[in-house]
Amino acid sequence: MTSRGKIVDAIVDLDEPTALGLADEMIKSGVDPVEILERCREGMSIVGERFESGDFFLSEMIMAAEIFNQIMEKIRPQLKRSFIESKGKIVIGTVEGDVHDIGKNIVIALLEAEGFDIVDLGVDVPPKRFVEAIRKHAPDIVGMSSLLTVAIESTKRTVDAIAEAGLRDKVRVIIGGGRVDEYTTEYVKPDASTDNAAQGVRLCKKLLGGVEV
Amino acid sequence: MSPSPEELYEERKERVDRASSLKEPDRVPVLGGFGFFSARHCGLTHHEFLFDYEKASKAVIKTSVDFGYDTAGGISRLGALPFTLAFLREYEGLAPVWVNGPVHDILGVRYARFPGRELSEDSPFQFIGEEYMKVEEYDELIEDPQRFLVEKLLPRSCRNLEDPGSVKAMVALFKWGNESRRSAEANKKLSAELRRLGFPDFSGGFSYAPLDFIGDYMRDVKNVLLDTFRVPDKVKDAAVAVGVLILEMNRVAAKSAPEGTRAFIPLHLNEYFSPKQYGEFYWPTLKRVVLDLIDLGLIPYIFYEGYHDAHLETILELPKGKTISKFEKTDLRKAKEVIGDHSCIVGGPPSSLFIGGTPAKVEEYVKGLLEDVKPGGGFILSPAVSIPGNARPENVRALLKAVEKHGAY
């Protein structure tokens, strides 16, 4: 097998040393970083499928995201963004009053691997900063993540603030995280919601008129 | 004539005890997990609720009486397990397991954020996981866990204990001792008053899954999960080492706990693991803790946070009727099917239903759920986590009403 195929397997097997070693090798031997990125995407796509089918759990997702992020760090400086077709731009953050980012970071890794441009606002993001970021980056989608119960209210406040700023029809809103369920969705009224990272990626694609869910 | 508090106490205790031991009571019991809702209901800020014992106790009493569930609420607090484990053997009895507002001020607890301090006056407190132990330090922890806790973990996780042996650190511990007595007395008084008003205790003990201790207090959740791939053997050995301290804590606690006291064990990492990793890294040491508590005459009351669907079968490895299983997002109907004859199930509406729902929706939820999980007994209704501060009072009221209507046997 070529190192290109091997790196896909290493990611899917969560074999961190091998995956990182192969990435270094490919960079050194002059493989186009876009090609490396493509292989990582292939690996992460399989990882996402395994999560949805119940073979992988959060622990495996966290490890896969960690491997993916480390490879991205290596190739990012050489990636010429203009050569990569973006699937869309997403502004994402953990809402005010909540500092949990495990879920958000898994989703970001999966979304990046799918070819979305991500603007990560970090954690404990007040509604005002979401609004400013929408003005500045004009994203297709804004994603709000949360784990705490108190964040249900912040998520609603953020969506309301976006509406008050007259931006609600300019972006699609997706909410995700541990406390997101049917009642949260009814209360916050986003365009999409989920408590499952891999499903979140599919919903983002759907929101942008892509693949059917 | 409405029943006296004494009659209510007996009636509720019987109801809860029968359900706990897998029998059918007169109706499904409802646990009063009021949490921060007590503060909101009585017009206290979250800050007052966590810093002023007297105001908080009054709020808990008023809320418990106003809503009349089968058990009362309590004053919210965060864990201080590193202290309890660090002071074992030297300290007679058990050092306090909790951090409240004043204790947070005295110790400068870094893993906690409190309203009116790091947070606005009216936010609930937060537990902030951090990396207080480096991955290179596993060996040191495994070698002598108690020493590691005392010499490394406490100074790193509390601002005012940064320099052990300094005047500042000694004064902090001295003040902490005094405050802990004050807080214990306030809690004792509150419990006695609640019993007098007709509310039986549901749980009186506390324990922990060894790997959660490492994830919550030492390595942080994300790091400990990465460690299971990078240094798997060290993670297993560390869980065993910490487990030894937890078993010892349980033995000390059991000396002053009446037989049959329910010991609450909140789990955190369970939903992160695949069944394979759960069986390899998490369950063996947790199971040991649970079995040991049962041997000591206590009833482990385990809160399986998040989704526990993939691990339900492991509960069957525990002795029948000797544990209570609280679920958050797990499918309660599936739980009933798999463990319904084996362990009493506790569960119910998510926080979002209290916040965003209506009384009609609450009733619809309760009716649908009880139809499926009530038959045969062994089921207790409880908020999935606790009732959130911003719950609509009419929804909180609707819950008991719905259970009275649909929960009778």
B206: which residues sit within 8 A by CB, 6+ positions away? B97, B253, B263, B264, B265
Residue type, B80: A
What domain range includes position A166? 86-207
Whether residue A164 is contained in a domain is answered as yes
Q: What is the pLDDT of residues A16-64, one digit of tens each?
A: 999 999 999 999 999 998 899 999 999 999 999 999 999 999 999 999 9
B29: which residues sit within 8 A by CB, 6+ positions away? B12, B15, B16, B19, B70, B71, B380, B381
Question: Which pLDDT belongs to residue A210?
Answer: 57
Q: What is the pLDDT of residues A110-131, one digit of tens each?
A: 999 999 999 999 999 999 999 9
Choosing from A55, A82, A109, the residue where a domain stops is A82
Predicted confidence (pLDDT) at residue A212 exceeds the cutoff of 50: no
Which chain A residues contact residue B350 at CB under 8 A? 179, 181, 183
Which residue of B119, B222, B388 is in closest CB contact with A62?
A: B222
Question: Under a CB-based contact definition with an 8 Å cutoff, are residues B269 and B308 in contact?
Answer: no
- Rg of chain B over Cα atoms, rounded to whole angstroms, equals 21
d(CA B362, CA A139): 37
C-alpha pair distances (Å), B118 with each of A121, A154, A158, B115, B260: 21, 18, 22, 6, 39
d(CA B73, CA B35): 6
Question: Under a CB-based contact definition with an 8 Å cutoff, are residues B217 and B268 in contact?
Answer: no
CA distance A57 to chain B (A): 5
Which residue of B123, B228, B352 is in closest CB contact with A179?
A: B352
Question: Which pLDDT belongs to residue B92?
Answer: 81
Token pair 């400068």: residue: B108
Whether residue A213 is contained in a domain is answered as no
Which chain B residues contact residue A186 at CB under 8 A? 356
**Residue among B212, B255, B257 nearest B235 (CA):** B212
Cβ of B331 under 8 Å from any chain A Cβ? no
C-alpha pair distances (Å), B44 with each of A34, B55, B79, B116: 57, 8, 22, 13
**Residue among A178, A175, A125 nearest A148 (CA):** A178
Q: Are residues A181 and A140 in the same domain?
A: yes
Of A80-94, A154-168, B269-283, B338-352, which gets the smallest average pLDDT?
A: A80-94
Whether residue A94 is contained in a domain is answered as yes
Q: What is the DSSP string of B80-138?
A: -HHHHHHTTTTSSS----EE-HHHHHHHTBTTEE-BTTTB-TTSPPEE-----S-GGGH
Calculate what percentage of chain B has a pLDDT beyond 90: 94
Cβ of B353 under 8 Å from any chain A Cβ? yes
Q: What is the pLDDT of residues B169-194, one digit of tens each?
A: 999 999 999 999 999 999 999 999 99
Q: Are residues A176 and A110 in the same domain?
A: yes
Domain ranges, ordered by start, for chain B: 77-198
C-alpha pair distances (Å), B324 with each of A197, B169, B383: 31, 40, 15
Q: Are residues A108 and A75 in the same domain?
A: no
Q: Are residues A169 and A119 in the same domain?
A: yes
CA distance B259 to chain A (A): 35
Q: How many domains does chain A have?
A: 2
Q: Are residues A29 and A112 in the same domain?
A: no
Predicted confidence (pLDDT) at residue A211 exceeds the cutoff of 50: no
Residue type, B376: G
- Tell me what ipTM this predicted complex has: 0.94
B:47-106 residues touching chain A, CB 8 A cutoff: none
Q: Are residues A198 and A124 in the same domain?
A: yes
Specify the DSSP element, H or E, that contains B347: strand B344-347
**Cα maximum dimension of chain B:** 67
Residues of A near B (CB-CB distance < 8 A)? 14, 16, 54-60, 62-63, 66, 97, 99, 102, 148-150, 152-153, 178-179, 181-184, 186-188, 195
Average pLDDT, integer, range B274-301: 98
Cβ of B277 under 8 Å from any chain A Cβ? yes
B170: which residues sit within 8 A by CB, 6+ positions away? none
Which residue of B228, B271, B352 is in closest CB contact with A181?
A: B352
CB contacts < 8 A, A to B, total 80
Q: Are residues A145 and A188 in the same domain?
A: yes
Question: Under a CB-based contact definition with an 8 Å cutoff, are residues A79 and A129 in contact?
Answer: no
Average pLDDT, integer, range B251-264: 94
Whether residue A212 is contained in a domain is answered as no
Could you give the angle at the alpha carbon of B107 between the alpha carbons of B103 and B110, nearest 5°? 105
Choosing from A82, A117, A148, the residue where a domain stops is A82
Average pLDDT, integer, range B4-20: 97
Average pLDDT, integer, range B350-371: 97
Whether residue A130 is contained in a domain is answered as yes
Token pair 């909410």: residue: A175
**Residue among B317, B310, B299 nearest A57 (CA):** B310
Predicted confidence (pLDDT) at residue A213 exceeds the cutoff of 70: no
Whether residue A182 is contained in a domain is answered as yes
d(CA B362, CA B172): 47
Question: Under a CB-based contact definition with an 8 Å cutoff, are residues B330 and B367 in contact?
Answer: no
**Residue among A139, A131, A146 nearest A200 (CA):** A146
pTM over 0.90: yes
d(CA B303, CA B384): 10
Q: Are residues A137 and A164 in the same domain?
A: yes
Which chain B residues contact residue A97 at CB under 8 A? 119, 123
Q: Are residues A121 and A18 in the same domain?
A: no
d(CA A143, CA B369): 32
CA distance A202 to chain B (A): 21
* Own/partner long-range contacts of B178-187 (Cβ < 8 Å, ≥24 apart): B179/B102, B179/B103, B179/B106, B180/B95, B180/B96, B180/B103, B182/B53, B182/B102, B183/B53, B183/B96, B183/B98, B183/B100, B183/B102, B183/B103, B184/B96, B186/B53, B186/B54, B186/B57, B187/B75
d(CA B265, CA B209): 7
Q: Are residues A151 and A53 in the same domain?
A: no
Task: Write the burial class of residue B128 (CB in 10 Å: 0-12 exposed, 13-18 middle, 19+ buried).
Answer: middle
DSSP 8-class letter at B152: I
Strand segments, DSSP code E, in B122-194 are 126-127
d(CA B337, CA B328): 16
Q: In 3-state terms, what secondary structure has residue A178?
A: coil
Which residue of B230, B329, B352 is in closest CB contact with A187?
A: B352
Token pair 């009486």: residue: B65
Q: What is the pLDDT of residues A73-114, one digit of tens each?
A: 999 888 765 556 788 999 999 999 898 999 999 999 999 999
The answer for A63, left when phi > 0, alpha when psi is -120 to 50, beta otherwise, is: alpha
Q: Are residues A45 and A148 in the same domain?
A: no
The answer for A148, left when phi > 0, alpha when psi is -120 to 50, beta otherwise, is: beta
CB spacing of A59 vs B274 below 8 angstroms: yes
CB spacing of A186 vs B356 below 8 angstroms: yes
**Residue among A35, A63, A66 nearest A50 (CA):** A63
Task: Identify the band that residue A11 occupies on the pLDDT scale cut at 50, 70 and 90.
Answer: very high
Q: In 3-state terms, what secondary structure has residue B308?
A: coil
Specify the DSSP element, H or E, that contains B157: helix B154-157
**Residue among B3, B70, B75 nearest B30 (CA):** B70
Q: Are residues A78 and A100 in the same domain?
A: no
Which residue of B225, B361, B388 is in closest CB contact with A149?
A: B388
Cβ of B389 under 8 Å from any chain A Cβ? yes
Q: Read off the CATH number of the domain in which A8 is found.
A: 1.10.1240.10
Which of B76, B274, B386 is most worth mutating to test chain A (most A CB atoms within 10 A of its CB)?
Answer: B274
Q: What is the pLDDT of residues B364-379, one digit of tens each?
A: 999 999 999 999 999 9
Choosing from A34, A53, A82, the residue where a domain stops is A82
Tokens of A73: 């760090």
